[in-house]
Structure 1
């Protein structure tokens, strides 16, 4: 089963097999998905102004919350969820405007996405979590950490930034004016190495389909929200273990940008993954899983 067909199966299953389970915190519906991967639970969660879905692997141990990149959805984390769920409860949710949360209210800001993250923790009954964010997800995680540091057991920032790029507005405008097909090539060439694009494996196919199937309104709203990122210098007193994980081959959030984040968070650990591009989890999942496991130990 390809990642694309897995995505189709998940959406079909979500529509057909959602049922209330009173064993979970109030406000959650849960469904067990059966596919080529180990069973995962999908919780339907109501946040302040929209619904979303939270995937869970693992039933015991410390909680981990994964926050995905712009244009993708919680399935981005599937290559590492099984490994991370050994001895842990691992959750990954669809950020507003993405996946099951597509069409949620906009415009919005990074402060709204931070409230969503805390809302997800409340809905799944987790007081403190090891939060991992990649790219846009890293911006969300940082914003939430500034807002509610007491909810963080640790923070892992993957291929992200602590300041908005000038290019964000251009990407929003291109989605609105040129459509989503025009976003595929520039996005994938930022995200993957040339070798991965040539092979065109499941992870590349998944990313292509998510971008191509996206809504231009949601796409533009997310980039404009990212423009409101305002965290630089505000995590100096965070006081929780922090990992800053860069990709050696990342042409978007370069190792230099990531090293700057680390210098602004005293006591953080900085690491560069060899040969790894922006979409670390999709192209080098084993390196990411190992780095996170080592960090948590």
Structure 2
């Protein structure tokens, strides 16, 4: 467990030496989203994954909260781990948090990897998801959310990744879900990483209906020198359906000790 400014959170760690890598998970899931790839990434690296506020072992943290609060949490995690900087990887909501922190504290980033995310808010969509959970409960959000996250084939097969994601959504408090989606309404990173000097990677999945390739290309275009990769047939939940592909891309990009 880590103690941050106003709450405690759970941490996974793999690897004992090498450059530090910090992983930020998607909205609605938790640090275990990274389990399919964390051991591969930990070869020659120290890899950390923590629960974002409102999720996992940080569920029930103070509400409401802002995207700035979650970005401050990331810096707090680096401080608690004694890291001057780290290679930060964020998927979806985690990517929004990583960008927000990179704008405010670019010196804390050894590199930035953005997976299946966006650099701008879609307020009506995000508020609709927040209000939907408040009115109808989390159970009503599960199937629609999974259909945005996975391919029809994975859903039909009820893969381990689908089962894990379903369990996370069913266990999540509607208040935490709503708070997280409302924090996303504040995302405003478009055009604000033009001076970001550290290496950057942006990864899209060609089968991602929640984060289309065109959106990810625009994210990459806004960061000087950012590498861009599109993974064929990969949906939004890259680590849970095609761990092999995303692990390979990150393994190639992130330095080893």
TM-score in terms of structure 1 length: 0.85
Q: Please tell me the root mean square deviation across aligned C-alpha atoms, in Å.
A: 0.7
Residues 168-188 of structure 1: CA deviation (Å, up to 9, x unaligned) = 000000010000110111110
What are structure 2's unaligned runs of at least 5 residues? none
Aligned mates of 1:79, 1:296 — CA distance in 2: 17
Aligned mates of 2:233, 2:201 — CA distance in 1: 19
User: Which of 15, 23, 32 in structure 2 is aligned with 1:66?
Assistant: 23
The aligned length equals: 254
Residues 71-98 of structure 1: CA deviation (Å, up to 9, x unaligned) = 0000000000000000000000000000
User: Which of 151, 154, 172 in structure 1 is aligned with 2:111?
Assistant: 154
User: Which of 257, 265, 280 in structure 1 is aligned with 2:215?
Assistant: 257
Where relative contact order (Cα < 8 A, 6+ residues apart) is larger, the structure is 2
Residues 164-215 of structure 1: CA deviation (Å, up to 9, x unaligned) = 1231000000010000110111110000000000111111000001001110
Answer with 1 or 2: which has the greater Rg: 1
The answer for the alignment partner of 2:35 in structure 1 is 78
The answer for the alignment partner of 2:47 in structure 1 is 90
The answer for the alignment partner of 2:145 in structure 1 is 187
The answer for the alignment partner of 1:52 in structure 2 is 9
Aligned mates of 1:296, 1:181 — CA distance in 2: 38
TM-score in terms of structure 2 length: 0.98
Residues 66-122 of structure 1: CA deviation (Å, up to 9, x unaligned) = 000000000000000000000000000000000000000011111100000000011
Partner of 1:49, secondary structure, is: coil
User: After TM superposition, which residue ranges in structure 1, 4 or more long, deviate above 4 angstroms?
Assistant: none
User: Which of 73, 76, 95 in structure 2 is aligned with 1:138?
Assistant: 95
The answer for the alignment partner of 1:122 in structure 2 is 79
The answer for the alignment partner of 2:200 in structure 1 is 242
What are structure 1's unaligned runs of at least 5 residues? 1-43
Aligned mates of 1:109, 1:263 — CA distance in 2: 26
Partner of 1:132, secondary structure, is: strand
Tell me the CA shift for residue 296 of structure 1: 2.1
Aligned mates of 1:175, 1:89 — CA distance in 2: 37
User: Which of 150, 173, 182 in structure 2 is aligned with 1:215?
Assistant: 173
